[in-house]
Amino acid sequence: MVRKRTIITTLLCVLILAVLGAGRYFGHSAWQENQFLTVPPESPGRDILFRVEPGQIFTTISANLKEKGLITDTRRFLELARRNGKTASLRAGKFKLSTGWTPERILHELSTSAGIMKKASIREGLTWWQTAEKIEAAKLGTVDNFAKAVADPDLLRKYGIQAPNAEGYLFPETYLLTPPKGDQSRYMVEIMLKEFFRNAAKVWPDGLPKFAEMNTIVTLASLIEKETGNISERRRISGVFHNRLKKRMLIQADPTIIYGLGPDFDGNIRRSHIRDRTNPYNTYVIRGLPPGPICSPGLDALLAATQPEDHDYLYFVAKGNGSHHFSKTLSEHNAAVRKYQLQRDKKTYRSTQE
């Protein structure tokens, strides 16, 4: 009986010790979990630039976070992500994180933030070489590599552009991108082409026309874009160009001469430029539209090119306040030129609206 009582007592002691041990273990584990979730790795924290590569798996991302000192436990970080349903939600990109953040904030930033972005603002009316300069200024590529991509036969063929380069099809927009690794000139050309065709669907909702017809519209839209920044005038200016083309009149648009002179144009159109028949873009001596677009037109200009205002105007001249005077006869136009151009006040004259 004594032996039996001793055995029972021993078992009870072992059980009590086991319970106490388990309690201490789980208590310590819960304390560690709480420490992991509520105490940042460092205080005060340090800012860390952290990159998540496209297609990178969660365990690799966790390991990299720990290596950078942004989390202290990869297993617990994985469990945290599982509880929140975010193991497949981390975004590729470059992020500014801090060692002074909790794991929950790190997880939230990586799964919801767009990260650090680079911005390239490409406004309407830029030539491809002006666009290249904007891309280089945004540190997304170089002028030389952009020039190669714009004229890349494979890229042009991919998007059905039957022209020497992609002039006119680099859609103007503000592009936000994750800071790239290396030169992204070709990538930028391609996303701008994609954006053009996305907007082209609004111009031709029933389907794109054949390239020759589309290129004619893009070319006309590029002239409209260059001639006015006043949206309310674009359909009227489009109507002038349509009327002149129907009557087989010369277009006589200064921006076409300027484009043909290229990046080295010094800002002054000379009489020799107007008479130059070797410039294929000289619409003062060559009938019809120029051989291709002279800039990147925006959506409004593209729509204006396809929807010209119905009128009898054949001429227009800048009034110096951002708008134009439209005329039906040459005599009326010459009078407007004398009034708004030859007798203009150079101190107050401006070609575009403010």
Residue 283 and residue 299: Cα distance in Å, rounded?
24
Q: What is the pLDDT of residues 252-261, one digit of tens each?
A: 999 999 999 9
Residue 136 contacts by C-beta under 8 Å, 6 or more apart in sequence?
A: 142, 143, 146
342 pLDDT higher than 90? no
Identify the band that residue 33 occupies on the pLDDT scale cut at 50, 70 and 90. confident
pTM of the model: 0.76
How confident is the model at residue 321, as a pLDDT?
84
CA gap 221, 317 in Å, rounded: 18
CA distance 285 to 259: 15
Tell me the CA distances in angstroms from 258 to 221, 263, 279, 307, one per residue in order.
16, 9, 10, 26
pLDDT mean over 116-138:
93
Task: Name the more confident of 297 and 345.
Answer: 297
Nearest C-alpha neighbor of 284 from the set 318, 257, 260, 247: 257
Mean pLDDT calculated for residue range 104-133: 92
Mean pLDDT on 105-121: 89
Across 26-163, where does the E strand assignment appear? 47-52, 93-98, 118-121
**Residue-range domains of the chain with CATH:** 47-112 (3.30.1490.480), 118-203 (no CATH), 211-342 (no CATH)
pLDDT tens for 205-232 read: 999 999 999 999 999 999 999 999 899 9
Do 312 and 243 touch, CB atoms closer than 8 A? yes
Q: What is the pLDDT, as a whole number, of residue 353?
A: 43
**In the 8-state DSSP scheme, what is residue 267?**
S
**How many whole angstroms from its chain centre is CA 34?**
43
Q: How far apart are CA 74 and CA 62, in angstroms?
A: 5
**pLDDT-derived band of residue 3, with 50, 70 and 90 as boundaries?**
low
Instruction: Return the SS3 of 123.
Output: coil
What does the alpha-carbon distance between residue 153 and residue 166 come to, in Å, rounded to a whole number? Answer: 10
Q: What confidence score (pLDDT) does residue 11 get?
A: 57
Per-residue pLDDT at 32: 78
Residue with tokens 């500014």: 96
CA atoms within 13 Å, Cβ hemisphere of 210: 2
CB-based burial label for 335 (10 Å; 0-12, 13-18, 19+): middle
Residue 114 has pLDDT above 90, yes or no: no
d(CA 98, CA 108): 13
**What burial class does residue 342 get, using C-beta atoms within 10 Å of its C-beta: 0-12 exposed, 13-18 middle, 19+ buried?**
exposed
Alpha-carbon distance of 231 to 162, in angstroms, equals: 29
Structure tokens at 274: 């107007």
Over the chain, what is the mean pLDDT? 89
Residue 87 confidence class, pLDDT cut points 50, 70, 90: confident
Instruction: Give dist(CA 177, CA 193) in Å, integer.
Output: 16
What tens digit of pLDDT does each residue of 161-181 get? Answer: 999 999 999 999 999 887 767
Name the strand (E) or helix (H) holding 101: none
Packing angle of the helix pair 185-203, 299-306 (nearest 10 deg): 40
Task: Please state which of the ranges 8-12, 15-19, 216-220 shows the lowest mean pLDDT.
Answer: 15-19
Q: Per-residue pLDDT tens for 267-277? A: 889 999 999 99
**Is the separation of the CB atoms in 196 and 221 below 8 Å?**
no
Q: What percent of the chain has pLDDT over 90?
A: 71
Q: What is the mean pLDDT of residues 301-320?
A: 95
Q: Is the pLDDT of residue 354 over 60?
A: no
Is residue 34 very low, low, confident or very high in pLDDT (cuts 50, 70, 90)? confident
- Model confidence at 352: pLDDT above 70: no
| pLDDT of amino acid 177 | 82
Pairing outcome for strands 93-98 and 47-52: antiparallel
pLDDT of residue 119: 86
User: CA nearest 72: which of 93, 100, 95?
Assistant: 100
Residue 54 burial (CB < 10 Å; 0-12/13-18/19+)?
A: exposed
Strand 93-98 to 118-121 pairing: unpaired
Specify the pLDDT at position 18. Answer: 52
